[in-house]
């Protein structure tokens, strides 16, 4: 509508049409259609299925929008899995590596046991759920009984410490003692931290690796040991006696039953509380420790807020949603995904040292599963090279759509004409993703806004409750 209006007013309008076809949404569509998971098919065959499926739907959508008379620059159509788009995505990644905004680190990451991949904070949704608050009696080493209320009894084998608030006069005497985990018979320290809510539960909490964000903070702050008891598909690891191999839900029930037999369950209350789920599948998220690629988004929040202020928001109040999101970012942006259908990282590793080996910019696009790095990039003494098997988060590509549309660093680049672009339109639901990530990339690459104006639409619901922009 805006493009048509401007053309009718005599403006020369550049309005490309794009298909965001890579990433988890496309994979889940194919999995749903074939009734199988990606890992059951294999990488090569499943990726081909994704290409075929996305091409089919894109042809249908293109015909639909052309029939509707959408005033797009159809000659500038792009796809997020085309060779040129992959080139620009990999170029963006290497540029941010050089500038120190990308890092590779073994760290706790948000994990979806349904989609079998790490995810980013922006992919979380909050959901209310009815569960149980289980009041379980613990003991100190000298035999004093105290009670902890938890919604996650299946995490008892992952307890690394117990915490009380240092201002809690009723429980101060516990600080410095050791606690015995009931049924597990493992001894852990009782520590003090002001983040413990004295009014929630019993005022004594267990720290597991990991049940929530606070657990991670305490683990880092107090240099606590790591007990990773979660498998990638949501089971207890086999090394945990009796409960190993059980899915979390089954383990939760089994542990409570065993604790009841021991007589250490004080009471069980029904509780309605908020949980974080993966927006793509609705599954509650867990935490997994493994090496991932991250883009730093937490240390430059002030800069991203400045960028947001430079953009004209329509309607104006939508800017507040952006500000609220930036101010509440707790995690750096995890951009690696343990999936198949996406843009490959232009990275290999020295098998012996683990040192990353990056592709040359002039060799892009590359597929490390097929291609090899240029000999000039291979470190001295490296005898065996292994490819990076993860792919990029789909937003790592979508966030550079301005660069894709201007054919950044390619032949006949429109960078001088189109940077920054004039207008972005999108739904309110992706302010925290598409808008924010694009602003992040633009700031890190060029220290400037990606577009001057941002038009945000609201969400309406179709007859079946499906969200439509």
pLDDT value of position 69? 85
pLDDT value of position 458? 77
Q: Taking residues 113-140, what's their average pLDDT?
A: 94
pLDDT band at residue 469 using 50, 70 and 90 as cut-offs: very low
Q: Above 80 in pLDDT, residue 232?
A: yes
Q: Above 90 in pLDDT, residue 166?
A: yes
- Determine how many CB atoms are found less than 10 A away from the CB of residue 200: 10
Identify whether the C-beta of residue 67 lies closer than 8 Å to the C-beta of residue 381: no
CA 166 vs. chain centroid, Å, equals: 34
Least confident of 62-71, 93-102, 175-184, 316-325: 62-71
Q: Above 90 in pLDDT, residue 22?
A: no
Residue % of the chain over a pLDDT of 70:
98
Residue 191 tokens, joined: 């520590």
pLDDT: which is higher, 251 or 459: 251
Identify whether the C-beta of residue 190 lies closer than 8 Å to the C-beta of residue 178: yes
pLDDT value of position 255? 96
Q: Find, among 303, 304, 308, 300, the residue nearest to 453 by Cα.
A: 308
Q: What does residue 432 show for φ and ψ, rounded to 5 degrees? A: -75, -15
Q: Above 90 in pLDDT, residue 192?
A: yes
Specify the pTM: 0.90
Q: Above 80 in pLDDT, residue 462?
A: no
Cα radius of gyration rounded to whole Å, the chain: 25
pLDDT value of position 467? 55
Q: Above 50 in pLDDT, residue 280?
A: yes
pLDDT: which is higher, 465 or 438: 438
pLDDT band at residue 461 using 50, 70 and 90 as cut-offs: low
Could you report the per-residue pLDDT of 395-420, keeping only the tens digit for each? 999 999 999 999 998 888 888 888 99
Q: Above 90 in pLDDT, residue 345?
A: yes
pLDDT: which is higher, 1 or 185: 185
pLDDT value of position 463? 53
Q: Taking residues 151-168, what's their average pLDDT?
A: 96
Could you report the per-residue pLDDT of 352-384, keeping only the tens digit for each? 999 999 999 999 999 999 999 999 999 999 999
Residue % of the chain over a pLDDT of 90:
82
Mean pLDDT for the chain?
A: 93
Q: Above 80 in pLDDT, residue 427?
A: yes
* Annotation: CATH topology of 123-278: Isoleucyl-tRNA Synthetase; domain 2 (3.90.740)
Q: Above 70 in pLDDT, residue 468?
A: no
Question: CA separation (Å) from 367 to 79, 387, 397?
Answer: 17, 9, 16
């Amino acid at each position: 509508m805006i493009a048509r209006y401007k053309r009718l007013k005599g403006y020369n309008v550049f309005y490309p049409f794009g298909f965001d076809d890579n990433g988890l949404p496309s994979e889940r569509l194919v999995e749903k259609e074939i009734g199988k998971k990606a890992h059951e098919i294999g990488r090569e065959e499943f990726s081909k299925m994704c290409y075929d499926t996305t091409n089919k739907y894109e042809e249908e959508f293109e015909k639909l929008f052309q029939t509707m008379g959408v005033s797009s620059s159809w000659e500038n159509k792009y796809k997020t899995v085309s060779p040129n788009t992959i080139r620009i995505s990999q170029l963006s990644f290497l540029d941010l590596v050089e500038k120190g905004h990308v890092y590779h680190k073994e760290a706790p990451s948000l994990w979806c046991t349904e989609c079998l991949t790490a995810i980013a904070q922006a992919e979380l949704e909050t959901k209310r759920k009815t569960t149980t608050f289980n009041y379980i009696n613990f003991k100190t080493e000298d035999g004093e009984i105290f009670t902890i209320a938890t919604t996650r009894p299946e995490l008892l084998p992952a307890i690394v410490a117990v915490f009380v608030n240092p201002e809690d006069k009723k429980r101060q005497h516990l600080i410095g003692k050791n606690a015995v985990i009931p049924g597990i018979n493992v001894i852990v320290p009782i520590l003090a931290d002001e983040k413990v809510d004295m009014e929630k539960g019993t005022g004594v909490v267990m720290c597991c690796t990991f049940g929530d964000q606070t657990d991670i903070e305490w683990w880092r702050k107090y240099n606590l040991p790591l007990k990773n008891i979660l498998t990638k598909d949501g089971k207890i690891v086999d090394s945990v006696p009796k409960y190993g191999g059980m899915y979390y839900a089954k383990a939760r029930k089994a542990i409570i039953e065993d604790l009841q037999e021991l007589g250490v369950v004080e009471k069980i209350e029904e509780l309605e509380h908020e949980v974080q789920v993966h927006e793509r599948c609705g599954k509650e998220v867990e935490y997994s420790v493994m090496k991932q690629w991250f883009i730093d988004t937490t240390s430059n929040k002030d800069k991203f807020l400045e960028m947001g202020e430079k953009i004209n928001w329509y309607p104006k109040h939508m800017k507040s949603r952006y500000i609220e999101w930036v101010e509440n970012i707790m995690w750096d942006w995890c951009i690696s995904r343990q999936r198949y259908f996406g843009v490959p990282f232009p990275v290999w590793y020295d098998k012996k040292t683990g040192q990353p080996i990056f592709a040359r910019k002039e060799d892009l696009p590359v597929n490390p599963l097929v291609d090899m790095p240029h000999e000039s990039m291979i470190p001295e003494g490296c005898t065996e090279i292994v490819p990076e098997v993860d792919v990029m988060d789909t937003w790592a590509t979508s966030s550079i759509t301005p660069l894709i549309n201007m054919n950044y660093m390619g032949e006949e680049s429109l960078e001088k004409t189109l940077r920054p672009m004039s207008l972005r339109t999108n739904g309110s639901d992706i302010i925290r993703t598409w808008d924010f990530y694009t602003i992040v990339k633009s700031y890190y690459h060029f220290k400037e806004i990606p577009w001057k104006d941002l038009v945000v639409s609201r969400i309406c619901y179709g007859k079946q409750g499906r969200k439509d922009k």
